[in-house]
């Protein structure tokens, strides 16, 4: 474990030490925690747990919006923090480079860009598959529309966030038993989307 007293030090350490997870206090001096998280997210997919004394929903949404994987408000017990670290690591490292991803009765074969549900092959476009795979490789992690757009920009070149909503609607129509009550691809209102953890 390494510690940094400022945001600049944290970014420098992250670039050389390549941590498995970052616990980031939003009240850092000089460069604030949100700025540090934003910079980290441009360079690495490292999981980030934010610590803050703020309890407002808008603050949590802002934290998730810049790429936090979890959010812990002060005061908290050391046991709670350890439990949250373990949960985030399970979600983010269990299948980050998985070739075969399974979510319930849904199976993604990443090299073949194939999706099967309950033994039946589903027909997704390249963009739809890339979006679904990005979410499924990190079950439970919330992605903003902008982050998802970055993941597929090389596939179709679209340049506006709301295109993601249209793709998600199409993916749900193809993979969900009931697209109006999704089981796999979930909306996080005010932030973006995530894949279910089961």
Place 156 in a pLDDT band, splitting at 50, 70 and 90.
very low
| Domain architecture of the chain: domains with CATH | 7-93 (3.40.50.2300), 100-195 (1.10.10.10)
> With 0-12 CB in 10 A as exposed, 13-18 as middle and 19+ as buried, what is 166?
exposed
| pLDDT tens string 104-140 | 888 998 888 889 988 889 988 878 888 999 899 888 8
Q: Specify the DSSP element, H or E, that contains 182.
A: none
CA distance 36 to 169: 33
pLDDT at 42: 76
CA distance 51 to 84: 11
- The pTM of this model reads 0.54
Among residues of the chain, what percentage have pLDDT more than 90?
Answer: 17
């Amino acid at each position: 474990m390494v510690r940094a007293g400022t945001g600049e030090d944290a970014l420098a350490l992250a670039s050389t030490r390549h941590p498995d997870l970052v616990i980031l206090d939003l009240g850092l001096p000089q460069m604030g925690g949100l700025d540090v998280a934003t910079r980290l997210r441009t360079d690495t997919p490292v999981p980030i747990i934010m610590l803050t004394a703020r309890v407002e929903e808008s603050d949590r949404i802002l934290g998730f919006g810049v790429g936090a994987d979890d959010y812990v408000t002060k005061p908290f017990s050391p046991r709670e923090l350890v439990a949250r670290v373990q949960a985030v690591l399970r979600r983010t490292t269990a299948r980050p480079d998985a070739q075969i991803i399974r979510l319930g009765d849904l199976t993604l074969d990443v090299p073949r860009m194939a999706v099967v549900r309950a033994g039946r092959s589903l027909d997704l476009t390249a963009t739809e598959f890339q979006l679904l795979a990005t979410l499924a490789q990190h079950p439970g992690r919330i992605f903003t529309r902008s982050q998802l757009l970055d993941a597929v920009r090389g596939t179709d070149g679209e340049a506006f966030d709301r295109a993601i909503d249209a793709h998600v609607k199409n993916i749900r129509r193809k993979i969900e038993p009931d697209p109006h009550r999704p089981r796999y691809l979930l909306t996080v209102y005010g932030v973006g989307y995530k894949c279910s953890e089961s």
